[in-house]
Chain A
Amino acid sequence: MSVLDELVAGALEDQRIREQATPLDVVKQAAQAAPAPLDARRWLRHADTVPVIAEIKRASPSKGRLGDIPDPAALAREYERGGAAAISVLTEGRRFLGSLDDLDRVRAAVGVPVLRKDFITTDYQIWEARAHGADLVLLIVAALDDAALRRLLDLTHELGMTALVETHTAEEIERAVAAGAGVIGINARNLKDLRVDVGRYRELADALPDDVIRVAESGVFGAVELEDYARAGADAVLVGEGVATARDHELAVRRLVEAGTRVKASEARPLAEHDGPYFGRFGGRYVPEALIHALTELEEVYDEAKRDPEFRREFDRLNRLYVGRPSPLTEAPRFAARLNERVGVNARVFLKREDLNHTGAHKINNALGQALLVKRMGKTRVIAETGAGQHGVATATVCALLGLKCRVYMGQVDARRQALNVARMRLLGAEVVEVTLGSRILKDAINEALRDWVTNVETTHYLLGTVAGPHPFPTIVRDFQKVIGEEARQQLRDEYGIDHPDAVCACVGGGSNAIGVMNAFLDDPRVSLYGYEAGGHGPESGRHAARFAPGTGRIGLFQGAKSYLLEDDEGQTLDTYSISAGLDYASVGPEHAWLKEIGRVTYDWATDEEAMGAFKDLCETEGIIPAIESSHAVAGAYKAAADLKAKGCADPVMIVNISGRGDKDVATAGKWFGYLTDEQSRALEANGAHGDTVTE
């Protein structure tokens, strides 16, 4: 006899004893006199949260006694205060130590639906549940044949109640659906590691019709399992031991409810309007508590500014009259011819010319927006990090424009290879601090900026330059950069009469120019999106900054956000390498990590060599010198065209984002292509202009 058989037999025997004392007719009368049941289905599926059914549970056959619950009504009230959507009451007395008395007490104590959980095989038990005020009953498919299941289900519905139909296998799910179950409980634990088997759960849950509510039924102890189940598609979860044995029952339920709300928000669509803190599993605020106040203030000021037409007007005015927006969308027919010849397609290529912005890159879009926020916050000092120097220059520029004090942190390696930009920032009145700690590149500059910010947060704003870092930065920077794609879409229609591109290509370091050019197209499935990371000497060489390439990045926390990260087998950050300082970063914006996970953007990489080849191609064919960063997008255009061709699109319209101009890179390119004499090259080498060597 299996455990289930034994439990069913025991429950039946107990029921018969009760029936002798209280015949069915009496129970029916009590059921009819009971207050009308609640429609539990309305509690168990919610667009914004994952409803939690919290269980009153004293013991179980597998674990034995869990704890005394002398006052189930009080416990139920704690669950309800914590946000439970329904209360499950075990009424089985032999092994679970429950009773109908528990059910009565809970029913009287709470306003949310109440589930009678027992081993139900007879009509009597259903009537009894209703008589005791239950809104829901549990039916276990494994304990019932098809006829009994259907009969009990029909009776449950007739009495205005909802049945939670428990299943363990695909076959049981099929039987439950066939019998007309509207709420199905699925148990999908991996018995090896006891974690929720998300794949298995999804497999089982996916087979269900949309109108069936999916309840995840076991092994929930906290946020981990709740998140696993919710991401696998569960509408609601049932939690027993995890809340019944918690020290603080209300808090335990609240934590689960909050985790569910967070999961729902993290997956909200449309993509173009998805705000942080979470992008799927990614994002968040992994920062010291000391920064929370500043981040919250920034979020509030930004939300307010966003709704203020005056702010919008000022931003647009400066964009137009100071930055020089809109930046043109230039068709590149001679470059397209080279690409078409190489790839064997018939593409039209359009370049989004962020290189023509004031200061020569897209970075000014965000710097200007944030600097206006700084004014609004009443802060007087701005700090920033910079890799290639473009963001540092943009920040120094807007600080000069708006009369803000500015300090830029720059890794020593980067400062040497971008000596001209360092001079430029100093000309603009900024203080440039060369960071000699760690690897002396972008990430170390960010560390120092964060330390400065933690110390001076009252007067200082950290003007982060990319869509990485803690919330709200990824959202704010995205919003200030999305003008790139919005303009490009409009220009393609107005100037060229083309409704939409087939592909958009951008380089991805932290990812702000890519998010900026892609945002307007995220919800248009006709547009393929391609992001290109810095492949350095190739992902297998270990000398690169490709976080998304197979076998490179892993999910981790870095500088405030959960995202993909280049780390060693101890979780220590790896040194990155790229010929372009602006892409040389160990992590990547959390929205990109999400867009990769959901398959919306295709990420690939371009090596130094490919990027420099594309750099030259664009110079020669179009008279445009792109930044080496942007050259990764240009190199990517060849790869994207090949991909589109493979997908059957032989005459694609492609937009390539030229995120910045390449004047700053002429020393590096001159050396790469051998246009400088050895003597000239050595002279530049001596002050580190190529970035290969750094002297202490």
Chain B
Amino acid sequence: MSTATTTPSGQPLGLSHRPSPGEAMFEALRAEDRPAFIGYLPYGFPTPEVSLDALRTMVGHGVDAVEIGLPYTDPVMDGPVIQAASQIALDHGERIAGVFRAVETVANAGGLPLIMSYWNLIYHYGVERFARDFENAGGAGLITPDLIPDEAGEWIEASDRHGLDRIFLVSPDSSDERLANAARNARGFIYAASRMGVTGERDTLSSSPEELVARTRRAGATNVCVGIGVSTPEQGATVGRYADGVIVGSALVHTMLDDTGRAARAADEGLAALAARTEALADGIRNARR
């Protein structure tokens, strides 16, 4: 019997030759001369159900691709806002198996579904099993904040077999050699961190991301998106002028937290605020090159 991973004779499925979903999206956006707006939200925040509404809200108000975060107990790359949201999700019983519903939700709403996860969660779930379930749910690619290409042998193999994009990060102090390493192993796009540090909103962005995007392209990358610290429509517009995509995380997540920053607002208030913030950011990012 033929399954997703075997041929009729019981041999393992070969390497998938599905075109990169991420590259297809950037190709289409290039024709419109606009950058992609990539929004981040942890799955399960504040609850699994509301998070699905939030994902639909984001896509409905102008996000092209959604980075669906998997909440983790030890998120070393995240600042206070995403840490708080992740903790709230975990406290409300977030389960990894549910994230594939979130992937379907984004796909059905017309967005490109990406997952962002710390590696232990995927490793624990089973890399091949994750790739299979993610592909079946209509997933596009995985962002791995604490998995460098050098350690990614199992993921490179699984993503090759299931036709999934591999999004590795680069940072301002990455050497040209490291940039080339990321470009060689990535598929879809490269995630360029705007600054050294963890996720979180900032009033100002330095000029380093523009330089980093240019260096990453010179190292062989086709699509380079900038994230970490991009929080306002103006910043989105600035970054969108030179980057292929603009990634916004904390600024969107923030809209659904209350004033203490440690608890979620009422769902309808949160969703309304999220819609407004998404729209404002989309306006800035979509018109970046006008």
Q: Which residues of A contact B (CB under 8 A)?
A: 62-63, 66, 191, 194, 219, 221-224, 227, 241-242, 245-247, 251, 255, 259, 284-290, 292-293, 437-438, 443-444, 447, 450-451, 454-458, 554, 556-559, 565, 567, 570-573
Contacts and interface: CB of A to CB of B under 8 A. Distances in A.
Contacts of A557: 119-120, 123, 146
Nearest to A61: B9
8 contacts: A255-B153, A288-B171, A290-B193, A451-B76, A454-B77, A458-B173, A571-B125, A572-B73
Contacts of B290: none
Contacts of A221: 12, 14-15, 157, 160-161
A454 B76 contact: yes
A557 B117 CA distance: 13
B136 interface: no
Interface string B194-227: 0011100000000000000000000000000000
Contacts of B175: 293
A255 B178 CA distance: 16
A31 B74 CA distance: 65
A224 B119 contact: no
Contacts of B151: 284-286
B5 interface: yes
Nearest to A449: B76
B11 to A, nearest CB: 5
A568 B235 CA distance: 40
Contact of B12 (A219, A259, A558, A570): A219
Contact of A288 (B9, B72, B77, B160): B77
B15 A571 contact: no
B181 to A, nearest CB: 9
- Interface pairs A-B: 4 shortest CB-CB: A223-B153, A571-B124, A222-B157, A455-B197
B72 to A, nearest CB: 7
Chain A contact residues, majority secondary structure: mixed
A223 B154 contact: yes
Given A221-B12, A251-B184, A454-B196, 19 more contacts: A63-B14, A221-B157, A227-B153, A241-B14, A247-B160, A284-B151, A286-B119, A286-B147, A288-B76, A289-B170, A289-B174, A447-B74, A447-B76, A454-B76, A457-B173, A559-B76, A567-B120, A572-B72, A573-B73
Nearest to A565: B120
Contacts of B77: 288, 451, 454
Contact of B124 (A289, A443, A570): A570
A286 B96 CA distance: 21
B108 interface: no
Interface residues of B, number: 53
Contacts of B79: 451
A279 B51 CA distance: 41
Residue among B90, B125, B157, B170 having the largest count of chain A Cβ atoms under 10 Å: B157
Contact of A558 (B120, B145, B169): B120
Nearest to A290: B171
B94 to A, nearest CB: 8
Contact of A289 (B148, B154, B184): B148
B193 A570 contact: no
Contacts of B37: none
A519 B1 CA distance: 53
B74 A443 contact: yes
B157 A223 contact: yes
A191 B7 CA distance: 12
Nearest to B75: A447
A450 B145 CA distance: 13
A454 B197 contact: yes
B22 to A, nearest CB: 15
Given A223-B156, A570-B121, A289 B14 contact: no
Contacts of A245: 14-15, 17
Given A62-B11, A222-B160, A571-B96, A288 B146 contact: yes
A458 B196 contact: yes
Residue among A219, A443, A554, A556 having the largest count of chain B Cβ atoms under 10 Å: A556
B168 interface: yes
Interface string B95-138: 11000000000000000000000011101110000000000000
B166 to A, nearest CB: 12
B157 A290 contact: no
Nearest to B97: A570
